[in-house]
Amino acid sequence: MGSTIKKYFFYWVLISTIILINIFATPIWSQLPLLPKLNLETFKLDSATNTKVSACVYLDGRCLFELSDRKSNLGQRIKYIEERLSEIKDIYLKSNQAQLNVSSRGDQNQQSLDVAVGAKKIPVLTLDRKDVVVRGVNLESQAEQIAEQIERGLEKARKERQSSFLLKQAKLAGVVLLLIILSNFVLSRSLKRLHQVKLSLRHDSESFFSQLELRKTFNLKEVQYRLLQLTQLIVWVGGFLLILSLFPDTRLAQLWIITALKIPLRLIVIIWLCYVLVRLSYAAIARLNSVITNNAFTNNYVLNADTNHRLQVRINTFSRLFRGIITFFWAGIALFVALSMIGLNVTPLLAGAGVLGLAFSFAAQNLIKDTINGLLIILEDQYAVGDVVTIGEVGGLVENLNLRITQLRDGEGRLITIPNSSINIVANHSNGWSRSDLKIPVSYQTNVDEAIELIEQIANQMYQDCECRDKILEPPQILGVEDFAERGFIVRLWFKTEPLKQWDISREFRRRLKNAFEEAGIPLPLPQQQIWLSRHN
């Protein structure tokens, strides 16, 4: 609260200082150097100096009239005319009794405009046919119109510096300042509420359908939040510029600020629009996934927990992929629009990008193979983010999957990156369900039927145990004696489990079986080897 009051106090002091200077210190401004003569052509990137352009001649920040000339000459002409008008304005404002007269002289090919203030006559500009801005208007009519505009502008400059006018504008500036502060107060409270809502939406939900709804709501709230931030910026910048426009001595500063911020403001708007479009696209993706999930439940398409889990995994993978593609798409469009709006011709860039793309397609065949194979992996649901897979000689948890690479995290914590084009055979350990395949060695001295009965008893206890029951999908299967090995005969056992739960079940079964063998007096088998010795006579 204290920081907000300090911020408002700073803005109040700044704007109040502008108002007081305009009311009580107007003579000071006449002694200050003029701001650089900027216009809307200043920041254009077109380097053609012979191009014919038009620009305004300003007095007290207002456009009096337009001139048309070559770009190389127009800036110098406008600077000269504005300096003459500023000189005439100072003389006219100092003498309350001086008479103002703007006259033109010349013929159809050339007209000269002079301004007489009392006994002093000052030449302002010379017009010829190239200066005619509006087609169908002859040079004499153009000169008369400019003379009238100059005279009205100088008279308005004197009127705007009268005390009654300045006090009226000061009251209006105070009202504008009050509206700015009230609007900013309302917007700040709305931003704070939206921020709290966004924080509450970050909490995870147990329901996958609820998670999709939270994603959609969060992205929409993020768009609202950024819109309010932009509105707050517009209120402050627009209000400040409006206050500057109310007074003749600060209107030129308003024009200078607007011109200087022309390109940055355009870029800010483009970046903001790109961000909003990306967030709206994220919300649309979340909404589409939510509809698909809801229809699956409504139509009984999801028949069991396995299919339900697989649907969630696939939707998460598709969402990450589409969000990346959408972000790249909108960012590319925003880049070209930004280059176009600041004056660059993007047509050669697009043509060059097409040629480079063709050349790149020949040079980057492996990348194209990666992309095609990655798309097939996703569409065919070979694996998704969150699966445990074995690809070739490496295996681990899939942490990242896109159109180019697959990244696995193995049991030692190493991140393994595999190009999609090199993936031929994949073993997915978590698609639908998993299996715990246990091969239990039993000593040859142990009765085989008793050992199998004990193993089956421990397996059934685990299946009925509340801690393990949710992870085991079906009753365990005792396959019987699988093989005879060095340590003893091998009894094979299967548990059908939820995806990625087979290792937990295997570890828990071995722990219980070890305790059960010790209680039953069945020794754990050790490697055995029988040696035959014979003596030859």
Q: Taking 80 as the threshold, does the pLDDT of residue 454 lie above it?
A: yes
Task: Give yes or no for residue 178 having a pLDDT over 50.
Answer: yes
- For residue 533, tell me if it sits in a domain: no
CATH number (domain holding residue 413): 2.30.30.60
Please say which residue of 355, 377, 396 terminates a domain: 355
- Token match 């059908």: residue? 496
The answer to whether residue 360 is domain-embedded is: no
Average predicted confidence (pLDDT) for the chain = 77
Give the pLDDT band (50/70/90) at residue 486: confident
Q: What is the pLDDT of residues 282-313, one digit of tens each?
A: 888 888 777 766 665 555 544 455 556 666 66
pLDDT of residue 31: 38
**Mean per-residue pLDDT, 508-532:** 80
pLDDT at 459 over 80: yes
Neighbours of 240 (CB within 10 A): 19
- One domain for residues 275 and 394: no
Q: Is 396 helix (H, G, I), strand (E, B) or coil?
A: strand
Please list, residue by residue across 456-467, b when 16 or more beta carbons sit within 10 angstroms of its beta carbon and e when fewer do.
eebbeebbeeee
413 shares a domain with 443: no
Cβ neighbourhood burial of 327 (10 Å; 0-12, 13-18, 19+): middle
Identify the domain boundary among 124, 159, 194. Answer: 159
Task: Please tell me the total count of domains within the chain.
Answer: 5
- Give the mean model confidence (pLDDT) for residues 505-516: 88
Residues 215 and 273 in one domain: yes
**Same structural domain, 336 and 403:** no
What contacts 183, CB < 8 A, 6 or more positions away? 235
The answer as to whether 362 is a domain residue is no
In a domain, 316, yes or no: yes
Task: Give residue 310's Cα distance to chain centre.
Answer: 30
Dist CA 445 CA 489 (whole Å)? 10
Within a domain: residue 8?
yes
Q: For residue 4, name the pLDDT band (cuts at 50, 70, 90).
A: low
* 532 found inside a domain: no
- Between 266 and 533, the more confident residue is 266
Q: What angle do CA 323, 327, 332 make, to 5 degrees?
A: 150
Band (pLDDT 50/70/90 cuts) for residue 46 is very low
DSSP 35: P
With cut-offs at 50, 70 and 90, classify the pLDDT of residue 408.
Answer: very high
208-249, pLDDT tens digit by residue?
Answer: 567 777 888 888 888 888 888 888 888 888 888 888 888 888
Q: What is the pLDDT averaged over residues 489-514?
A: 86
For residue 351, pLDDT over 80 is answered with: no
What pLDDT, on a 0 to 100 scale, did the predictor assign at position 48?
Answer: 52
Q: What's the pLDDT at 35?
A: 44
Same domain, 127 and 212: no
Share of the chain above pLDDT 70, in %: 77
Does 530 reside within a domain?
no
Same domain, 399 and 446: no
| 266 and 327 inside one domain | yes
Name the residue with tokens 């001649």: 57
Residue 348: Cβ within 10 Å count: 9
Distances (CA, A) of 30 to 27, 79, 93, 94, 291: 5, 17, 11, 11, 68
- Check pLDDT > 60 for residue 373: yes
Q: What is the pLDDT of residue 244?
A: 86
CATH number, domain with residue 499: 3.30.70.100
pLDDT above 50 for 45 = no
pTM over 0.75: no
In this structure, are 155 and 297 located in the same domain?
no
Residue 420 lies inside a defined structural domain of this protein: yes
Share of the chain above pLDDT 90, in %: 1
Buried b / exposed e across 496-523, counting CB within 10 Å, b at 16+? bbbbbbbeebbebbeebbeeebeeeebe
Pair (189, 325) in one structural domain = yes
Q: Are 406 and 418 within 8 A, CB to CB?
A: yes
Model confidence at 317: pLDDT above 80:
no
Q: Are residues 66 and 210 in the same domain?
A: no
- Same domain for 283 and 300: yes
Q: Would you place residue 27 in the very low, low, confident or very high pLDDT band (cuts 50, 70, 90)?
A: very low
Per-residue model confidence (pLDDT) at position 182:
92
Of 136, 159, 182, which residue sits at a domain end? 159
Tens of pLDDT, residue by residue over 394-405, are 888 888 888 788
Q: State residue 444's pLDDT score.
A: 83
Are 405 and 417 in contact by the 8 Å Cβ rule? The answer is: yes
Please answer whether residues 367 and 297 qualify as being in contact, where contact means their C-beta atoms are separated by less than 8 angstroms: no
Which residues form the domain of 26? 2-31
User: Tokens representing 321?
Assistant: 């992929």
Q: Based on the fold, state whether residues 266 and 387 are members of the same structural domain.
A: no
